[in-house]
Amino acid sequence: MSASPIPREIFRAYDIRGPALGADALLTPDLAFRIALAYAEQVDSAERIVVGGDNRPTTPALQQAAIAGLLDAGLDVVDIGRAPSPLVYWATATLTRERPTAGLVVTASHNRVEDNGIKLLHTDAMPLLPEQIQAVAERVASGASVADRQGERSLWSPRADYVGSLARSFQLQRPLQVAIDPGNGVAAVTAGAALRAIGCEVVAINDDPEETDPSHPADPQHAENVAELARFVSESGAELGFAFDGDGDRLGLVDGRGRRAAPDQVLALLAEDWLFRHRGASIHVDVKTSRAVIDHIEQLGGEAFFGPVGHSLGKYAMRERGIDFGGEASTHYFYRVDDPPHYTDDAVRTACRIAQIASQTSLEAMLDAIPRFPISPEVKIACPDDRKHDVAAAITESARRRWPVIGIDGARIDLSAQAEGAWCVIRASNTTPYLTVLVEGRDDGGYEIARGVAAEILTEHGLDAGPLISQPPLG
């Protein structure tokens, strides 16, 4: 079959994602069919595929096209319908116990409604690595073949079994009233049910998955998207609140005083709980993690291990090192689960864990005990896609000659010789034409030093440091 052009820009580091609606659509049902055919060759150990999808208007057509491609590739398909990504992970791991089963999710997570995407899993529910996604793209372009055997499609609704597994894993010491905001995303189908199953009284906003005009993006990494939940917690008298992202793998937290907990605070909170139950454990963190979290982990007798940014790369780093818990600044929190065995970044599981903690102690007191240092948000510095990785590598190499550097993913530069606890990270975005920069100091003076150093480095490499120079620390 002759090569056929495809939109290579939608084959990204962690998934396939791009415009899927209207005249500008790049991810079409035809392309989803071809991706499924190519993916079937990439997971040649699989005998069947679990397929689920989010609640975007383009998802049903893309999901059915992907199922058709898998069937034509000779694979059996278990269609679980509308499902958060972690539910697909859980279902894949559950069914793999019977026979090798991989997974496919149609979702664009928190992206705008016009976008959609596809996440691809191996038979151990681990995501395809960036180079494996590119291999799928190559096979799509060259043309994957239809198999002699037609696969069989079956239907399964795993929600009740999944909720039951969480209810067996988490028990509250006292009842809690909990507020949730799924952002009208697909987490609405599991979050409330799971929290009620462990003993919570649940009140909800933005929990209609049929709503096509949500009041805010389903992206709890950014404070403005959690503001409505914070007000609702204060007004309703709830003891805590949970905000979910579009496909249910990321979580935001609001305490009983209506205060949003920063993602790093949530990671420190969860790490404290984990270390209470697993003394001396190692915790996975990414290179953007605040020094406050690292200090907290070390003070509690744990060891923080830096890994690369991104949910797929983070899971592989954890598995390679034998680490069972971790998280990153984007509000992903990772677990190695025993039943069924798999690694997951499940926001509903995390919400259940935090609810359990809150039923035992004062969540507000725990959060208050976690220090916060002046830290910037991720600052985007424009850099073309075809140059960004080379520029990031050059920055890493030159920085090593002047400071201690962690070079796992870009450069995390230790500036403590100039200001105690100060650091900056400069790395290439895996998904956009930017370098991303983060700076932190233990105080305002340290922040200014870190920001100045990072700006100087950017300027030395011919980049516009203006967005960083004008960036005050987060409030």
* Residues with active-site annotation: 109
Say how far apart CA 464 and CA 456 lie, in whole Å.
10
Pairing of strands 411-414, 200-204: unpaired
CA distance 244 to 87: 14
Q: What is the DSSP letter of 79?
A: E
What SS3 class is residue 181? strand
Q: Roughly what angle, to the nearest 10 degrees, separates helices 85-96 and 347-358?
A: 100
- Separation CA 434–CA 182 (nearest Å): 29
Task: Say which residues have a Cβ less than 8 Å from residue 23's Cβ, sequence separation at least 6.
Answer: none
Query: Three-class SS of residue 206?
Result: coil
CB 116 within 8 A of CB 17: yes
Sheet of 153-155: strands edge to edge? 16-19, 115-121, 101-106, 48-53, 76-82, 153-155
CA 8 to each of CA 4, 5, 109: distance values in angstroms, whole numbers, following the listed order: 11, 8, 20
For 314, the token pair is 């983070």
Contact 304, 293 (CB under 8 A): yes
Q: Are strands 153-155 and 76-82 parallel, antiparallel or unpaired?
A: parallel
Helix residue ranges, H only, 73-210: 85-96, 130-142, 159-169, 191-197
Q: Which two tokens stand for residue 251?
A: 């979580």
Strand partners, 49: 77, 102
What's the CA gap between 21 and 317, in Å, rounded?
A: 35
DSSP 228-269: HHHHHHHHHT-SEEEEE-TTSS-EEEEETTSPEEPHHHHHHH
Q: What is the spatial distance between Cα 210 and Cα 409, in angstroms, rounded to a whole number?
A: 39
Neighbours of 459 (CB within 10 A): 14
DSSP-derived pairing of the beta strands 303-307 and 260-261? unpaired
The per-residue b/e assignment along 227-238, b for 16 or more CB within 10 angstroms, e otherwise, is ebbbebbbebeb
3-state secondary structure of 448: helix
From the list 83, 36, 39, the residue with the least C-alpha distance to 62 is 36
